[in-house]
Amino acid sequence: MNKILTITKKELNSYFNSPLGYIVVSVFLIISGWLFIQTFFVIGQASLRSFFNLLPVLFMFIIPAITMSSWSEEKRSGTIEVLMTFPISAIKVVIAKFFSNFVFLLIMLALTIAIPIMVTNLGAPDSGIIWAGYIGALLLGSVYIAIGLWISSVTKNQIISFLVTAAIIFIFYMVGNSLILDTMPNSVAAVGKFLSFSTHFNSILRGVISLSDIFYYISVIIFFLFLNARAISLKNWK
């Protein structure tokens, strides 16, 4: 556990020891805040639903930007050979990288706390919806992170990692769109709806956090982390 925490701390520090971390956080806060304010005063309701509806799309670009260098940069610079010869399993290294990205995501979302505070001062929003929205955002963001780490582990190019991650996320998110589902046979549409990230995220946004939605997200996270560990462990670094 100490080794996992050590790598987690090193990875997290790397984000804030370079401009990338600050740029990503700043862009996320500015865009999310500005877009929310635009819709908030038009709707005229004390609700954060529009804010949470923005997050899946913003995460589609923000999180690939965070994860694209997680493995790609280490492979490009050659530091992965040193890392993987340490007495620690590939899965533990993958978990550490996932934790570091998860904490970064947690920090980003925590910095948006000014938005619900502002809305609460202007009205009486449903606190259950707010909590559910943040929990759903963490789960959805964690899935995006797991996908991004896997793609980063199978390519040396950060730009390719970013584009492929964003493309996979877009496909999994949009496959649950009603316009797409209407063009599919019922049996295929049912599968697409279940696999879609948007289906489970929208379910959580209703304020009801079901075990099936949590199980879905955790299963997807474990699946992509497993692929990540396999991609790393298949190569002999010694």
**What confidence category does residue 1 fall into, taking pLDDT thresholds of 50, 70 and 90?**
low
The top-scoring range by mean pLDDT among 150-164, 168-182, 212-226 is 212-226
Residue 75 has pLDDT above 50, yes or no: yes
Mean pLDDT along residues 220-228 = 95
Tell me whether residue 184 is in a domain: yes
Structural domain boundaries, residue 148? 2-233
Tell me whether residue 27 is in a domain: yes
How high does pLDDT run on average in the chain? 84
Tell me whether residue 238 is in a domain: no
Mean pLDDT along residues 160-185 = 84
C-alpha torsion sign, points 213, 52, 171, 143: negative
Tally the domains of the chain.
Answer: 1
What is the share, in percent, of the chain residues with pLDDT greater than 70?
A: 88
**What confidence category does residue 77 fall into, taking pLDDT thresholds of 50, 70 and 90?**
low
Tell me whether residue 77 is in a domain: yes
**What confidence category does residue 238 fall into, taking pLDDT thresholds of 50, 70 and 90?**
very low
**What confidence category does residue 236 fall into, taking pLDDT thresholds of 50, 70 and 90?**
very low
For residue 145, count CB atoms less than 10 angstroms from its CB and return exposed for 0-12, middle for 13-18, buried for 19 or more. buried
Tell me whether residue 156 is in a domain: yes
> Does the predicted model carry a pTM greater than 0.85?
yes
